[in-house]
Structure 1
Amino acid sequence: MPLRPGAVAIAVTVALALAGCAAKVGPPPASTLQTPAAWRTAPGPGQSAAPVEREWWQAFGDPVLSALVAKALEHNGDLRIARARVAQYRALVGVAAAGQKPNVIVDTAPSRARQLASNGAPYVTNVYQAEIQASYEVDLWGRLAAATDAATATYQSEQANADAVALSIAATVASGYLNLRGLDAQLALTEATLKLREESRDLAKRQFDVGYSSRLEWLQAQAEYQTTAEQVPQLKRSIFEQENALAVLTGGNPGPIPRGAELGQLEPPPVPAGLPSELLRRRPDIARAEYNLVAANANLQATRDQLLPSFKLTAVGGIQSLKMHDFLNAPTALWRLTGAIAAPVFEGGRVQSQTDSVAAQRDQLTYAYENAVRTAFSETDNSLGAIYQLKEQAVQNDARRATAAETLRIAHNRYRNGYASYLEELDAQRTLYSADVGRLQLRTRILVASVDLYRAMGGGWVARP
């Protein structure tokens, strides 16, 4: 039978009286985050600025690099795990949203029983029954909606996490490839230098054989040749390991990596432009921290409202008959309508303790969000400063190399004309080789620093609404 109006009025009065029993929640922590107006290191007169492109790695102009990044974004194992987690949490949003919708169950239960009558005679009864049950919880206080909001924010957090993983993998592949090309260039320089050392050793040996120079000079030339030769297998081992690391990053087995442009042909892309405030909308790790905070606030509301009464409507309807013929043609209709109000009266402070726990978690995520923003500011400023200082260092390296090359020319002429010992030329060769190695390493570091800057700027990720 339907609920009487008087009973409904009493139930609503009791519910409103219990509505003030929600768990108490403390205020969120005051934010101490301040966004700087500009970066400490701004692009100088010799530096151009460009917007942060989504596929920023193509700015290096190497099709092989672009192909490796594309392959990694499709096949990398960590990224595939992150995307599977996105699918998992997308499904959990549907689970949470289902709580706000009616629940309908259909049940058919035909039965046959042999029983004893009062006189002791057995008899058989058949009961044919079909029933449909619908229930719906009225979300008067918004608890179910808050649970859905929390699931949605968690799903968005996982989306941002997948974007952060994709950005990290793209940057790691780009850095690994650029380091590989730097090692290739160092190996080529070392092998070319080894040939020169071999020529110098042979010349010193001939001059020693004819008595023009001492055995000391010949042994020093031999030692310098052996020192250079020792670096070749070291560089080859580093190249071998770098290739294997890149192959695994791209979702394959350890193996060789194709090469594209030479190190000298690769140019760092323009320095990305953007204010610190724009970083808050572009970096996926900041978005992830923000979504986690939104989910914590929604969870806090859902947990707090557990002390409030819940309203549930249940409607049951069905048909029943003792004979199959009557069940198909003229069954007896049955129905029931129930309105239930449930509210906790005493639970030993469990809900309040849960609320305090979730509130503390919300505070932690607030601080985590601020830390993520500050870390982003620091990484971006460091990357801008690194590019600027490395380019300044490269200018000094060019000057040092020019001086070393001129010193070697003079020392070689003095030695060839008999005005100086071979030690002067040997020392000049070492200085020039050191400058050349430093030049290649600086060029590689500038290219990798550009990758770090795009990673810090949140390149490769577009904020979702």
Structure 2
Amino acid sequence: MLMKSYLLGAASLTMLVGCASLPGSFSDSRDPSTTLPEGFDVSQAAVPDVAESLLGIFKDSKLEALVNAAWEANPDLQASAARMEEAGFNLKKAGAPLFPSLTGNAGARTGERLGVSSDTFNATLDTRWEVDVWGKLRAGRRAGAANFAEAKANYEAAKQSIAAQAMQGWFDLVAAEQLLDLAQRRAASFEKSYQLVNTRFENGTTGIGDVHLAKVDLELARAAVQLRTNERDQAARNVRVLAGLYPDAQLRTGAKLPSLSRSVKAGVPSDVLLNRPDIDAAYQAIRAADERVTVAHRDLFPSFVLTGSGGRESSTLGDLAKSGFDVWSFGASLAAPLFEGGARRAELGAAGKRAEQAYFRYQKVVLDAFREVENSLGSERYLARQLSATEAALEAARRAETKSRSDYEQGLVEILNLLISQRQVFSTEESAIQLRAARAKNRVSLALALGKAY
């Protein structure tokens, strides 16, 4: 009769408090709200093939060693790994309420009554288990599992990002070294021109104005050497910080910027959804938020708790070690929220809105990913065309500089013609170096955008 009354009471409370509907799930599909095209917008006829390993494309042992060092010691990546491990502990914690808890207690007391003193010793084992009738605890564990998957995906995204930053920093340093070498050659060339003009002035075959013009270009070239030296040192410091090392400026690559192929197998837009770890992390965040909506909904229902206790009590400490229990109890309880000012229903609504926010963040991450791919594909095409035109211009500038120097030495043209041709050679070569570096860095950006940074 007692059990029948208990069950009737439970059913009544369930009907009373559990009538709120569960909001819809946002994690039913990974598909973005935007319709995906069959191919990327940028024509892939003149953009690169991104292999499974970007390091395999560049084939540089020093670069690979730098990336490995960054993975070992970069503070940002280490922090991401710690967050992943924290999520693992939180997952274990989220699953703990599914199992009964067991607590041991021991105590001793002394007292006196009618002049007679007595000692009492006791030891008990208490257990408690919330029966997961409605699946609230299981939903909480699934939320923890989704958060752990999110943290793992974020770690993978951080690892890819660190690899990309290390490679791009390396190419910045290589370019900075080449630009410094170019600046030094420029200063040496203008020094030679200045000496030539000065000799002609001393011989009376040119005026002081030509000497001043040559001096201006010489001093500007010397200033450029200092600028490029500073840029080289800063690039070296940046690379060392990425590798978790003290930022001195002693690192030198002695490398050249890579020559890149133009064939393409960049895939299709739907591949990006599968390859990008940041997209997976955003989706796992939706799953976790959806499960917490379920937790908030099930929290409106009554909770069923089983409790038990057993122990011994004795006037002597030794008797506590005997087997069996002198006292024991077992019980069941039912608790249901009847009035809390709407707090639990408000939490259900708030949890639903948090899931909605996670859904829209996922949509933004997806759109940003496609934008990054399209931008990198477009940049690859235009950078290749720029570099081709610049290299053609450099060949023409060198021929013009050779002719101008010969003509000036024969007295056929003014010094200004020679100086202009020299400026064109060095400025065009500078542009070519910068474009080669930009192409290499963009290739890294493309691989990162496609989820293939290493």
- Class of the TM-score when normalised by the shorter of the 2 chains: over 0.9
Q: Who is 2:422 aligned against?
A: 429
Q: Who is 1:171 aligned against?
A: 164
Counterpart pick for 2:411 among 394, 414, 418: 418
Indicate conservation of the 8 Å contact 1:100/1:139, yes or no.
yes
Q: Who is 2:370 aligned against?
A: 377
Matched, 1:338 2:331: yes
Counterpart pick for 1:111 among 109, 112, 134: 109
2:431 partner letter:
G
Question: What per-residue deviation string (whole Å, max 9, x for no partner) do you get for residues 244-271 of structure 1?
Answer: 121111111111354445225x233675
Question: What per-residue deviation string (whole Å, max 9, x for no partner) do you get for residues 397-432 of structure 1?
Answer: 122112212222222222222221111111111111
Indicate conservation of the 8 Å contact 2:190/2:218, yes or no.
yes
1:52 partner letter:
E
Q: Who is 2:51 aligned against?
A: 51
* 1: CA distance, partners of 2:318 / 2:405: 117
Matched, 1:39 2:44: no
Matched, 1:408 2:406: no
Q: Who is 2:153 aligned against?
A: 160
Question: What per-residue deviation string (whole Å, max 9, x for no partner) do you get for residues 161-204 of structure 1?
Answer: 22222211111111111011001011111111211111110010
CA pair 182-272 structure 1, distance change in 2 beyond 3 A: farther
> Does the residue aligned with 1:132 lie in a helix, a strand or coil?
strand
Counterpart pick for 1:256 among 243, 249, 252: 249
Matched, 1:305 2:298: yes
Indicate conservation of the 8 Å contact 1:58/1:66, yes or no.
no
1:207 partner letter:
R
Counterpart pick for 1:393 among 373, 386, 392: 386
Q: Who is 1:97 aligned against?
A: 95
Q: Who is 2:187 aligned against?
A: 194
User: 1:116-265 residue pairs with structure 2 within 5 A?
Assistant: 116=113, 121-256=114-249, 258-260=251-253, 262-264=255-257
User: 1:2-13 residue pairs with structure 2 within 5 A?
Assistant: 4-13=2-11
1:216 partner letter:
G
1:345 partner letter:
L
CA pair 205-329 structure 1, distance change in 2 beyond 3 A: closer
2:259 partner letter:
E
* 1: CA distance, partners of 2:421 / 2:129: 88
1:267 partner letter:
S
Q: How many residues align?
A: 450
Q: Who is 2:356 aligned against?
A: 363
CA pair 26-346 structure 1, distance change in 2 beyond 3 A: farther
Instruction: Tell me the percent identity.
Output: 25
1:149 partner letter:
R
Indicate conservation of the 8 Å contact 2:22/2:294, yes or no.
no
CA pair 366-324 structure 1, distance change in 2 beyond 3 A: closer
CA pair 38-214 structure 1, distance change in 2 beyond 3 A: same
* 1: CA distance, partners of 2:266 / 2:158: 23
Structure 1 position 141, deviation (Å) = 0.8
Question: What per-residue deviation string (whole Å, max 9, x for no partner) do you get for residues 80-127 of structure 1?
Answer: 11111111111011111001111111112232222x3xxxx2222222
User: 1:316-335 residue pairs with structure 2 within 5 A?
Assistant: 316-324=309-317, 326-329=319-322, 333-335=326-328
* 1: CA distance, partners of 2:323 / 2:351: 56
Query: 5+ residue gaps in structure 1?
Result: none
Q: Who is 1:80 aligned against?
A: 78
Structure 1 position 58, deviation (Å) = 4.2
> Does the residue aligned with 1:35 lie in a helix, a strand or coil?
coil
1:61 partner letter:
K
* 1: CA distance, partners of 2:49 / 2:402: 41
> Does the residue aligned with 2:128 lie in a helix, a strand or coil?
strand
Q: What's the Cα RMSD here?
A: 2.2
1:303 partner letter:
A
1:49 partner letter:
D
Indicate conservation of the 8 Å contact 2:168/2:441, yes or no.
yes
Indicate conservation of the 8 Å contact 1:22/1:308, yes or no.
no
Structure 1 position 326, deviation (Å) = 4.9
1:103 partner letter:
S
Query: 5+ residue gaps in structure 2?
Result: none
